[in-house]
Structures are given as C-alpha cells and as structure tokens.
Chain A
Amino acid sequence: DAGVIQSPRHEVTEMGQEVTLRCKPISGHDYLFWYRQTMMRGLELLIYFNNNVPIDDSGMPEDRFSAKMPNASFSTLKIQPSEPRDSAVYFCASSLRQSGNTIYFGEGSWLTVV
C-alpha cells in the first residue's frame, strides 16, 4: 500500500520566494497533519484537518504560512514570502479515526531558505 506521499523531497530557495509543499495522504484516511521539525524546536504540529476541514491551526507560525486541503487526497502548505528561519523538515501525516490515533508520516520535505 502507498504511504503518505510528499513532494518535493528537497527544496532550496531564496529568501522572499514562495514555497509550496504538497501531500497526498493514505487513501481513506480522514485526518491530515502538517508537522515541522527543527533542531531547536523539535517536532511541532502546524495544522491539522478532519475531512478536509481545518480543525486547529494554532501552530501555524504566522500569516506567511497557509495550508489548504481542497479534497481528501491532496493538501498543500505554502510559505510566502519564505525566510531563512523557515528552513526545516516539513512532515505531512495522516490517520484514520478508527485506528486509535495512529498517525502515519511521509518521508518529509527538506526545505532550505538561503
């Protein structure tokens, strides 16, 4: 079975540019999560969706960050404009309520802003 698929795997961009990260959750899952991982702050939950509806976006750092889930099989996390402090690994994850809170992670998108 295909797991959570993220793209791009690696991205290097210049400060001020727009960055779009993409995610395809596991088919049939009804929850989707975006996490950010840095050395300083560890794993932080940015936002999560239930049935394509954002439930909690309190972890989104600031207005430069936005996330959408137009349908059950696709989500984006956008940073505009990007800054060097946004450099991190961004993980998308999905889960199914009946699975007892087990969350399945993608391989991550490694973002470097120079």
Chain B
Amino acid sequence: AQSVTQLDSQVPVFEEAPVELRCNYSSSVSVYLFWYVQYPNQGLQLLLKYLSGSTLVESINGFEAEFNKSQTSFHLRKPSVHISDTAEYFCAVSVRGAQKLVFGQGTRLTINP
C-alpha cells in the first residue's frame, strides 16, 4: 500500500521569504505525485502534479516541486511567499493505473507580515 508523510504539520514564515514543504512517500510501484492546496473554508485545489517526464514541475503561482525517486520525496518550494499563500497544503500519491489518491496529513503554511 502507498503512504505519504508530510514532515511538518505547521510552517510559519515571513512574507517574501523562501519556503519548503516536505513530502515523502512510500510505494513499491511507480506512482503519480500531487500537491493540493486548501484555502480556509474551501475545498482542495490542484496546485501541481508529476506524472512523468521532467522531475521538476511548476505551478502558475510560483510554486515548484521536484520528484526525487531515490529519496522518495516530492518537496514543494517557493522562493518568495505572499500573504495570499496562507493555506493548508496536501501532498498525495496514486499508483499508476489506479485512480484513488492517498493524502498526507497536510502542512499549514502561515505567512507573517
């Protein structure tokens, strides 16, 4: 079975500082990897995903994540955060060929002015 570990439950940073949200997964087969974002009182929105090809994937709002197969990681990074990035971020994994996602516990990103 697959599992996802998000190493930090909360990450406080100052505005315009860089941030990294860590995600490690466990699977014996090839996987797809995702980051979802949940703003307060809303549903989850897809931020970015890795299916195949380049191991570095980017979102439209400046986030990026790198698939590292040897370390079974998919850490999310942004070089300069904004107040509007305050949200909970979920890493998720699915097995290639299967549709269901397994989510990590989430990391709450708090941006301080």
Partners in one complex: yes
Nearest chain B residue, comparing its CB with the CB of A31: B99
Q: A75 at the A/B interface (Cβ < 8 Å)? A: no
Q: How far is the CB of A112 from chain B (nearest CB, A)?
A: 14
B77-113 contacts to A (CB < 8 Å)? 90, 94, 98-106
- Segment with Cβ contacts to A, from B12-20, B44-52, B57-65, B68-76: B44-52
Q: Which of these binds chain B: A11-19, A66-74, A103-111?
A: A103-111
Which of A33, A43, A45, A105 makes the CB contact (< 8 A) with B45? A105
B101 touches A101 (CB 8 A): yes
CA separation between A94 and B101, bound complex, in Å?
11
A21 to chain B, nearest CB (A): 14
| A48 to B90 alpha-carbon distance, docked (Å) | 20
Which of B36, B51, B100, B103 touches A100 (beta carbons < 8 Å)? B51
In the complex, per-residue mask of B15-55: 1 if CB is within 8 Å of any chain A CB, else 0: 00000000000000000101010000011111001010000
Given contacts A100-B32, A100-B51, contact A105 B43 (CB under 8 A): yes
Cα(A108)–Cα(B44), bound, Å: 9
Scan A45-60; emit 1 where CB is below 8 A from any B CB, else 0: 1001010000010000
A64 lies within 8 A of chain B by Cβ: no
Cβ-closest chain B residue relative to A30 = B99
Q: A48-B100, A100-B51 are in contact. Are A43 and B94 (CB under 8 A)?
A: no
CB-defined contacts of B43 to chain A, threshold 8 Å = 4, 91, 105-108
Residue positions of A touching B, CB distance < 8 A: 4, 31, 33, 42-43, 45, 48, 50, 56, 91, 93, 95, 97, 100-108
* Residue positions of B touching A, CB distance < 8 A: 32, 34, 36, 42-46, 49, 51, 90, 94, 98-106
20 A-B pairs within 8 Å (CB atoms) are namely: A31-B99, A33-B100, A33-B101, A42-B103, A42-B104, A42-B106, A43-B44, A45-B100, A45-B101, A48-B99, A48-B100, A50-B99, A97-B99, A101-B34, A101-B49, A101-B94, A104-B46, A105-B36, A107-B42, A108-B43
